[in-house]
Structure 1
Amino acid sequence: MLLMPVNQETASVRTTSNVTAAFNAVLRLGDPAMLIAGAAFAHWVRFGTPILQVEYVRLVVLTTVFALLVLSSKMYRSWRGRGLSAEVMHLGFRWSLVFIGVVLYATATQLTVELSRLWLGTWFAASLGGAVLLRFIIRGIAAWVRARGMDLRTAVIVGGNPDAQRIVDTMRQNPWMGIKLRGWFSTSADRCALETVKPMGRVDGLAEFVEKNHIDQVWIALPMREQGQIANVLRQLDHSTTDIKFLPDLFGLELLNHSVESIAGLPIINLRSSPLDGNARLIKAIEDKILASIILLLISPLLALIAIGIKLSDPGPVIFKQLRHGMGGKPIEVWKFRSMRMHKEEEGRITQATKGDPRIFPFGGFLRRTSLDELPQFINVLQGRMSIVGPRPHPLALNEQFKTLVDRYMQRHRVKPGITGWAQVNGFRGETDTVEKMAQRVRYDLYYLQNWSLWLDLRIVFMTVFKGFVGQNAY
């Protein structure tokens, strides 16, 4: 078994930081906690005791469940760079929706006869106040952390104009944003040079600088008429998973999970970003852990039988481990049941399995045709390296081969690789011996990134059970 070397410059890691994830987790847990604490506080104000009566407990539980649904959509995405006032207004709107729902439910079930209106009003005010206070505290801690050089995102700007200078000044004056500007690249369309930020020369050197320095964000500040230069910047970054922000023309550009946000009063458009940020990332993680645990429990006897079968068929290890690119281009170790006889590849080269491949022993061929060789990857899911559903991980050498041949090939690595995926259940399994086959697989992978939802994941899992394990190209 040969483990391929990793090109560190092409495997830059750009994922949500642990600090940011912790802040978001506190908010996700803190909001329902504020609902419960607010209800107890209001009960103490109205009745002199924080211990709720049975009918109040029932309503609080239902309200908390309803709030988890109402507050989930985009409430907990990264707020880096957005003002607190906008977040509080958004929170107040959704909090009001929750309590309007409470009033409608209480009226429909005639609970309003039994409930204290003073308690209900105090509950709304106290819980919302607690949620707002929690955000003040979290932002204060984040500002303290980022002012000391932790939890920072690095960024560069392409182009020079007054709006770009305004962004530069805003980042410099507000260190709580956690964005560190490393420099700016000039273009032929610049209207002015940017002050207080290091000039990095012409834009031709952008891609090399981004990869070498693991830059997290590239901000494009070019006139709307400069679509040729904008497209050139995007082409340079085709093999990078850095986030790209642009202000503000979208016409004719290839987008991936684009969205709009406002910073310093200017509209900023995310041209390419991960589809699994904030709440979506949490849902995906819970889905993976629950399904992987259940599946491993159910298939554990089968895993033992396969291991015995491999040992009896061919000498060598049961598990084959290989480095592949994970989310953000980070190398991960992917596990499979070994299906080939022990051999060595030339360094930097991967020979894909073909029909009648003499390296595959008979029992291994059965495992490959039925995809049973991939079952150990459920352990990779529990380890956090992979997801159950996502783009299939390719060997590092295969990525190097195809990333220059297939448009937006490396964008597949914006999410964790999967055991199964949209491409696989649509017939694109096994050998990809032509550019056309790989381009088709990538097209389905990008469709998955653009349209991800929990229901799409469950649909793919369902389709895999009935049509995804076997196929004419699986050998």
Structure 2
Amino acid sequence: MSTVIRQAGGRDFVGWGSVLARLLDMGLIGSGAVLASLLFIPSAQQWTIESAFVVFDMALAILLLPWFDMYSSWRGRSKWRLAFNAVFGWVVVQGCGLVVMFLLHRAAPMSRLWCVSWTATTAIGIVVSRLLVYAVLGRRWRSRRNLRTVAVVGAGAHCDSVIASIAGSPAAGFRAVATLNTLRDRTPDAHGLPSFVRLSKFAEWVRDERVDEVWLALRMSDESTLLRILDEFSGDLVNLRFIPDVRSLVMFDRNMVDLIGSPAINLMASPMTPYALMQKALFDRLFAVVMLLSLAPLMLLIAVAVKATSKGPVLFTQRRKGVDGRVFRIYKFRSMRLHAEQPGVICQATRGDPRVTRLGAFLRRTSLDELPQFFNVLRGDMSVVGPRPHAIEHDDEYRAIVDGYIHRYRIKPGITGWAQINGFRGETDEIEKMRGRVEHDLYYLRNWSFGLDMRIVLATVAKGMSHRNAY
């Protein structure tokens, strides 16, 4: 078996590009500090301490920023995720630097306004630099320069989808150049590309044309083909990527994880990495504190109104399932009159329900009855964004008749979610309504990003949390 050696040639944003990116970040950190000093002119003592702080932060940035995936390949990655990682990484660096300065008793003389200005200026500079470089690379890739060539192995709808995705994403920096038909039932030149049915001819062509990558668009059960490809290209420096057909799986996390020292793919597990969970938990706590402080007068007014307009407690609590099925008590402003229910039976509110008070109808329609759930977020029972939790009795009913229902509980339930901003709120009197809600929840799980959470929060605020189905 022949061995093909390729020259690196700087064909990706790695190697020397990564070094330049690090140097650029150091320059932006220093420039941000200088610009902040021009705005807030420091004294001699402040200048000495602040200069030491800047140098120390540069050293910290060299050590910590690579942990935020800022210097690996940009091909096929979201520019907004790159920008967020850059800002989050810089804030962590700055936070660590401030902690060290505080422990050394050197933080007091520093100007707070200078520090905030420096942090903001540098964050803006890092984001702008990333977006500019991303735009330049995307333009080069769209003009079909510096593309990585891809040969696709597979057949059928999944293989067609992979090839179509490559063609439909020119800014990702890939170009399909050939296929290996594993079913041997197609004519050559499928998709307008050279198509092979024999692995030996395909491998020979890949080596002759110096193809960069081979993507395996195969079924999970097609182990024999996978092993043959791995054996054929074991002596070549060509990237092999497995893109399994997982359409039959409800949940699938494509990320490789380390499991007691062995690589593993999560077929059905929480899609959230520890880093993502840290991001989400930090945002949840900060957002909950801000909302509770800012909405305290309104919540106090609602509490007084609830108590004054009907008998009973201000808050309504109910047992719900949280992440991994753990049970917690959810808080709401009471919107119904006190009434008796049969044990184990929960009756959903319907339009014109006589149990709902006049004030309660307004609170439910505007979702103001949900505000106490920020206490649930602060306690760690819920998240700001996630699948809405249902009554436990409904969980037991729907998990048996709605495919994928139980997977909603692989992450914390939320005050708002992807299903809610897309119209799936209120009563689920038809099974199709619940199926639609679950489909949107699973979409959120499979496609989670911090940017998607922000989009949902902004959409919730823009719509005022009001909906015609909320009653």
TM-score (norm 1): 0.51
From 281, 284, 287, the equivalent of 1:285 is 281
- Give yes or no for contact 1:320–1:336 (8 Å, CA) kept in 2: yes
| SS of residue matched to 1:356 | coil
Deviates more, 1:464-473 or 1:379-388: 464-473
Q: What is the alpha-carbon distance in structure 1 between the residues aligned to residue 429 and residue 327 of structure 2?
A: 23
Closer/same/farther in 2, CA of residues 385 and 53 from structure 1, 3 Å limit: closer
Secondary structure, in 3 states, of the residue corresponding to 2:68?
Answer: coil
Distance 2:297 2:244 in 1: 56
Given the alignment, which residue of 58, 64, 68 partners 2:60? 64
1:356 maps to a residue whose letter is G
Q: CA deviation at 1:455?
A: 1.4
Q: CA deviation at 1:56?
A: 5.4
The answer to whether the 8 A contact 1:248-1:268 is kept is no
Offset at residue 269 of structure 1 (A) = 2.0
For residue 268 of structure 1, give the secondary structure of its aligned residue in structure 2.
strand
- Against the structure 1 CA distance between its residues 423 and 66, is the aligned structure 2 distance closer, same or farther, given a 3 Å change threshold? farther
CA contact (8 A) 2:253 2:265 kept: no
Distance in 2, matches of 1:358 and 1:264, equals 57
SS at match of 2:320: strand
- Alpha-carbon shift at residue 394 of structure 1 (Å): 0.3
Matched, 1:358 2:351: no
Superposed, which structure 2 residues align to 1:59-208 within 5 Å?
A: 59-65=55-61, 67-73=63-69
Residue matched to 1:299 = 295
Q: Deviations over 1:267-296 (max 9, x none)?
A: 532102212231111111110111110111
Shift of 1:404: 1.0
Equivalent pair of 2:365/2:470 in contact (CA under 8 Å): yes
Which residue in the other structure is 1:159 paired with?
A: none
Of the three residues 415, 438, 443, the one matched with 1:442 is 438
Counterpart among 355, 366, 369 of residue 365 in structure 2 = 369
Aligned partners of 1:420 and 1:446: how far apart in 2?
Answer: 14
Residue 398 of structure 1 corresponds to which residue in structure 2? 394
Give CA deviations for 1:74-94 in whole Å, capped at 9, x if unaligned.
9xxxxxxxxxxxxxxxxxxx9
- Which structure has more relative contact order (CA 8 Å, sep 6+)? It is 1
Cα distance in 2, alignment partners of residues 336 and 264 from structure 1: 42
Shift of 1:450: 1.1
The 5-angstrom pairing of residues 387-466 of structure 1 reads 387-466=383-462
- CA shift, 1:330, in A, is 0.5
Unaligned runs of 5+ in 2: 1-47, 71-88, 94-219, 224-241
Residue by residue over 1:93-140, the C-alpha shift from the partner in whole angstroms, topping out at 9 and shown as x without a partner, is x9xxx9xxxxxxxxxxxxxxxxxxxxxxxxxxxxxxxxxxxxxxxxxx
Taking the aligned partners of 2:397 and 2:258, their CA distance within structure 1 comes to: 39
Identity of aligned residues (%): 47
User: Secondary structure in 2 aligned to 1:276?
Assistant: coil
> Which residue of structure 1 lines up, in the alignment, with residue 341 of structure 2?
345
Please tell me the residue identity of whatever aligns with 2:370.
E
Q: How far, CA to CA, are the matches of 2:412 and 2:260 in structure 1? A: 33
Go from structure 1 to structure 2 and tell me whether the alpha carbon gap of 1:301 and 1:257 turns closer, same or farther (over 3 Å shift).
same
Give the letter for the 1:60 counterpart.
F
Contact 2:418 2:440 survives alignment (8 Å): yes
Aligned residue pair count = 259
1:367 and 1:54, CA in 2 relative to 1: closer, same or farther beyond 3 A?
Answer: closer
Q: 1:404 to 1:321 in 2, by over 3 A?
A: same
- With 337-346 and 319-328 compared, the bigger mean Cα shift is at 337-346
1:258–1:273 CA contact under 8 A, matched in 2: no
Asked whether the 8 Å contact 1:425–1:464 carries over to 2, the reply is yes
Q: Deviations over 1:296-355 (max 9, x none)?
A: 111100011101111111010000000000000000100000000111221111111000
Pairwise CA distance, 1:67: 4.8
**Alpha carbons 2:246, 2:252 under 8 Å: kept:** no
Say if 2:418 and 2:444, in contact at 8 Å, map to a contact too.
yes
Partners of 1:58 and 1:392 in 2: CA distance: 45
Cα offset, 1:70, TM superposition = 2.6
Q: What is residue 380 of structure 1 aligned with on the other side?
A: 376
Q: Deviation at 1:448?
A: 1.0
CA distance in 2, matches of 1:377, 1:444: 22
Q: Return the offset for 1:61.
A: 0.8
Equivalent AA in structure 2 for residue 348 of structure 1 = G
Q: What letter is aligned with 1:399? A: D
Secondary structure at the counterpart of residue 423 of structure 1: helix
Residue aligning to 2:35: none
Per the alignment, in what secondary structure is the counterpart of residue 71 of structure 1?
A: helix
Given that residues 316 and 342 in structure 1 are in contact (C-alpha distance below 8 angstroms), is that contact kept between their aligned partners in structure 2? Answer: yes
Q: Quick one: which amino acid aligns to residue 426 of structure 2?
A: G
